[in-house]
Amino acid sequence: MSCDVPHSTIVWRRVKTRERQGHTVALAVSDGPVTRRLLRTKGLDIDYLELGGPHLDAVVAEAPQCRLLVHNALYDWSLAHPRALEQQDAVARTQAVLTRTGAPWLSVHLGFSAAHVKHGEEFMHTMSPTLPREEVARTIPATIRALAAVLPVPLLLENLNYCPGGAYEYVCAPDFIARTLEETGASLLLDIAHAQVSAERLGLSFEQYVGRLPLERVREVHISGTRPRNGMIFDAHEELLEDQYALLVSVLRQTSPAVLTLEYQGDEALLLRQLERLRALLAARVDDTVNDAPIL
């Protein structure tokens, strides 16, 4: 489907990348300055644009006919707050964002381990004490169930990348994620870079970490380039390297997501090149030509 947006050429296309299982995988890209600039000028071969709720007005103004995904309708918000739905007028604001976007689902971070958090330059910081594990394990599922009950669309939970400081305790453990999904019936947004980071910091291999997750619940996959820093892996949202492509192929062989989302806001040419390669990778699965990645 082609979007007739002034001064831009946005091509919407669905490719049957999982034809063997009777469903397609759409391609999305995260919102940001580079994405919006390309939408205005060269256009992007994508199926969805994924945005955060606070940026909705800007996106609608610049690309009013884009099909949208909503990733976190609110910022600086924690599922572990005992009255999370009363914070920031959460229910009304979330419902308003979903109504305006027509998004097929809402995805949110599966966190955090403190009631009050604030987004820093690279990760969330605690603005209140880290809660006991038992309280987090009780409060987060309760909030998820209450939120899902008032949403007009399904709810997806995204696995987080473990970072120091207290906001990411417990919630990045694969067993915690699996149990929360089971208790709430929510689907999983599997972030591959987050899984890489958490696996390393929890002393697991990527295969061990992902293998403990309920992969049958994966509805969306995030992919972005990690980089080493001070001897540790970070989700840098940099260009995808060969190991990320290999992990993606492995994940796609084990899951049936509806959407694959690239998170990248660097060089324009690199963004276009990555989208082209991801589109080709997805299309290649129709003929089962991508077979060199290990089974998880």
pLDDT of 23 = 57
Q: Which domains does the chain have, with CATH numbers?
A: 2-284 (3.20.20.150)
Q: Among 146, 75, 148, which residue's Cα sits nearest to residue 112?
A: 75
**Dihedral of alpha carbons 243, 245, 248, 252, sign:** negative
Exposed (0-12), middle (13-18) or buried (19+): which is 51, by Cβ within 10 Å? Answer: buried
pLDDT of 288 = 55
**Tens digits of residue pLDDT in 249-262:** 999 999 999 999 99
pLDDT of 284 = 84
Cα gap 49→46, rounded to integer Å: 7
pLDDT of 24 = 84
CA 241 centroid distance within chain: 19
CA 231 centroid distance within chain: 25
The token pair at 66 is: 């884009």
Per-residue pLDDT tens, the chain, 296 aa: give them: 333 333 333 333 333 333 334 458 999 999 999 999 999 898 899 999 999 999 999 998 888 879 999 999 999 999 999 999 999 999 999 999 999 999 999 999 999 999 999 998 789 999 999 999 999 999 999 999 999 999 999 999 999 999 999 999 999 999 999 999 999 999 999 999 999 999 999 999 999 999 999 999 999 999 999 999 988 999 999 999 999 999 999 999 999 999 999 999 999 999 999 999 999 999 986 555 444 444 34
DSSP string covering the chain: -EE--TT--EE-----TBGGGTB--EEEEE-SHHHHHHHHTT--B-SEEEE-GGGHHHHHHH-TT--EEEE-SSSS--TTSTTGGGGGGHHHHHHHHHHHH--S-EEEE---SBSSEEE-SSSEEESSPBPPHHHHHHHHHHHHHHHHHH-SS-EEEEPPPP-TTTTSTTTTSHHHHHHHHHHH--EEEEEHHHHHHHHHHTT--HHHHHHTS-GGGEEEEEE-EEEEETTEEEEEEE---HHHHHHHHHHHHH---SEEEE---S-HHHHHHHHHHHHHHHHHTTTT----SPP-
Cα gap 258→263, rounded to integer Å: 16
